[in-house]
Structures are given as C-alpha cells and as structure tokens.
Amino acid sequence: MPASPPSVPPRPLEGLRVIIGVCAGIAAYKAAHVVRGLTERGADVRVVPTKASLEFVGISTWEALSHNPVRTSVFEDVDSVAHVRLGQEADAVVVVPATADFMARARMGRADDLLTATLLVTRAPVILAPAMHTEMWEHPATRENVDVLRSRGVRVIEPASGRLTGTDTGVGRLPEPEVIVHYVESVLAAGSRTCDLEGTRVVITAGGTREALDPVRVLTNHSSGKQGAALARAAYVRGASVSLVLAGSHIEPPAGVDVVRVESAKELAAEVRERESSADVLIMAAAVSDFTPEPSRSKIKKKAGESGLTLHLVETEDILRGLVERRQAGERPFVICGFAAETGDEHSSALAHATRKARAKGADLLAFNDVSENAFGADTNALTFLDAAGEIRGATRGTKDEVSHAMLDHVASLLKRERG
C-alpha cells in the first residue's frame, strides 16, 4: 500500500492575521523578508510602519509585499476606527525591528501612533524582535523596559550576536528573518498554551551525527535537525531555558536558544554528559550513529586488484540508555525523552519495533515516527508517544512546530508528576 502523506495544509498560517510593526532602524529592510515568509505560509499580513521607519523602507514596499494597504497614523481611515480594529482582529502582533525607543514607549503604554495604539488594544500574542547597538541593548533603561514588557507577557526575542550596522560586532543584531518567521509560527502553533516551562532547563539534541572515515569522507544519515530545532523553539516559546546540541546540521538555530555544534556521536555524548547534571528535561532527537570507524589519518585510496573496501566499525555509546541508567543510580530526577524513527519489515510493523525500543530504552517518553510515511527534511511529522512500558500515551500529526508543542504537553505533565 502506498504511504499516505500527513494531511497538513502546505500553508500552516492560512486564515491567521499577523500585524508586522516596523520601527526606524537599519534592520527595517530585513522585515521585508519576514513579511514575505509569513505571507508565503498563508498569513494575512498587515504592515504598520512607524513614520520614522519610512526613512528606511517606503510604503510601496510594504503594500506590494503584504498585498494590503498600509497606514501609519491614527488619523487615517478614521471612519473604520483602524487604530482599534487592527489590534482587535490580529492573531499576533510582531515588531521587526523593535528599537530601544519603541520598547520604551511600549513599556509606558503610549498610544501616540498607530503601532503603539495597536499594541494597547490587542489581546493576541505580542512578539518584539529587537535590533540595536550593544550599548543600547545593555543599558539599564533598556534592560528594565524589556523586563517589564516580559513580565506583562510580551515575548521579546533575544537579539543575535554578530556584525552590527558599523564595523562593530556584538549582541543586538536582528535574528535572521527565517528565524523570526519560525518563532512566530511556533507561537501561533502554541495557541492558548502559556509559559508552562518557565524556570525549566531543557537540553535537546538534534540533527545527524557524522563519523569521519578519513579527512575527506563521513558516514552520516538523512536527519535534517528540523524536528529537534522545532522542539527547542517550542520549549523557548513556553519559557524554558534551552540548550540545543546540533549534530552535523546546517539549519539556522532558533532564536533565544544556546546552541553547541558537534559532529560525531562521541562529541554529542560528551556535550550531553556536560549538561545533564543541570537539566530538568533531556530530549534525544538526534539521529546518532550506532557505529563508528577508526578514522584513517590520510585519504583512503583505491587499491589495484581490490574490488571493494571493508570497513571495521565499532559500536558507539547508547546515550539515551546511559542517561536512564545514570538517573537510576543518581538522586536527581529529570525527564528523559527519545525518538524512534522506524520502518516496518518482514518481521514486525514499525509500531512493534518502536514498542520494543520503548521498553528497552526505558525513557519516560519515546516519540515514534514511521519514516516510510514521513520524509526526512519535511516540515510536517506524525508522532505516536510511548511510555517506558511501551504503552501508547497519545499521537499527534501536524507541522513540526505543532507536534513539538504536543510532545511538550506530555513533558510538562511528566514534570508536574515528578515535582509532585
């Protein structure tokens, strides 16, 4: 029987209205890519630029990209009460870039232009993507404004580090547009979920390990790292402090997440060990190589008269099982989750393989996906959750952001049970 693809709309934001506020910063041009990314995913985008931001990017750009008219003043469209309607009808309000001045005004509750008025009216999630020089970001006034805004439930994305407007580098750079679009998607996928993972330290591994054969060649697998990255993003959106150990993947890591990049199974195991003692939750989403070769120092050459090459591979450490064993031996409880990407074969169904794996590994939660149905690198997934006894605890299907939130619901209830 041919595999049926997950029934998920290709435009996950269809039917949702997103307001993009644009402030007067040089990064305003990057907001154009955010508008494009969100409209491509089906969102109905309304751009509300501040007057000063039009010095950087003009109205025509926003109207062309959003396919909607653009207003900046509360005195335009007065008959339709635009300054109230925009905020009331929004599913999310996103400000890209959010300048220090804008955050100060938002903190004070000013309503002196259409964007700040929209912020006061809306009850939808508000997301600010700040961009400014390091000194401005680190100034006590800005720190305090960010703290106050966050305490009111406003989501202020951590700015990235890197090249700023001049020749200087530091914290304060706008996260890449793709990262902001993914963040908005995850917030919308979270729906009514609150910051239930506030104060929780989550370590997630993702991607596929790469085992060197020689200085040129590697043994690896098809894992893209997207599911693990979506989990990291979802955990950050829900208030957790997140470390992502990313193996061999070139994806742009999520905003606000501490990322460490590794190559081999051995490096991944070492990074997990370093972090496990301070973690409340460990999620092994990485596709870890089960075997590794003794790498040759020089490039392996073809040999005359030999028609093949025999590789000797040795087993790598089973990191997930090791975590469960160390937890049993230790005193500190933490939640452990794994993944099982399976296919059926002549002996067993994919689910039967996963059930055996759940019992053998002993993780609190094992997320099984049938990889003959779900392509590697896809933006959607279908997961079945099994406990350590192999019992099915639930199932979910959707975008990788949606299934991540469903998985974190299980993690949140495991944490609650553990904390009594």
Give the catalytic positions in this structure.
221
Whole-number Å distance between alpha carbons of 380 and 378: 5
183 or 339: CB nearest ligand CTP = 339
Q: Is 335 in the site for ligand CTP (CB under 6 A)?
A: no
Phi, psi values for residue 49, rounded to 5°: -85, 150
Site mask for ligand CTP (CB under 6 A), range 338-377, x = bound: xxxx------------------------------------
**334 marked as part of a ligand binding site:** no
Q: Which part of the chain contacts ligand CTP (CB under 6 A), choosing from 193-201, 335-343, 371-379, 389-397?
A: 335-343
**30 marked as part of a ligand binding site:** no
Pick out residues in 305-334 that bind ligand CTP (CB under 6 A): 316, 318-320
Pick out residues in 251-310 that bind ligand CTP (CB under 6 A): 265, 284, 286, 288, 290
CB 269, min distance to ligand CTP, A: 8
**361 marked as part of a ligand binding site:** yes
**299 marked as part of a ligand binding site:** yes
CB 33, min distance to ligand CTP, A: 33
42 near 9, Cβ under 8 Å? Answer: yes
Q: Is 66 in the site for ligand CTP (CB under 6 A)?
A: no
Burial 51-87 (b: 16+ CB within 10 A, else e): ebbbebbeeebbeebbeeebbbebeeeeeeebbeebb
Helix, strand, coil shares, percent, the chain, to 5: 35, 25, 40
How many other CB atoms sit within 10 Å of the CB of residue 99? Answer: 23
252 or 318: CB nearest ligand CTP = 318
**290 marked as part of a ligand binding site:** yes
User: Order of strands across the sheet with 44-49?
Assistant: 44-49, 17-22, 92-98, 126-130, 155-156
248 or 338: CB nearest ligand CTP = 338
Q: What is the DSSP string of 360-420?
A: HH--SEEEEEETTTS-TT-SEEEEEEE-TTS-EEEEEEEEHHHHHHHHHHHHHHHHHHHH-
Binding-site residues from annotation: 290, 299, 339, 357, 361
Binding-site residues from annotation for CTP: 290, 299, 339, 357, 361
Note the residues at the interface with ligand CTP (CB under 6 A).
265, 284, 286, 288, 290, 316, 318-320, 338-341
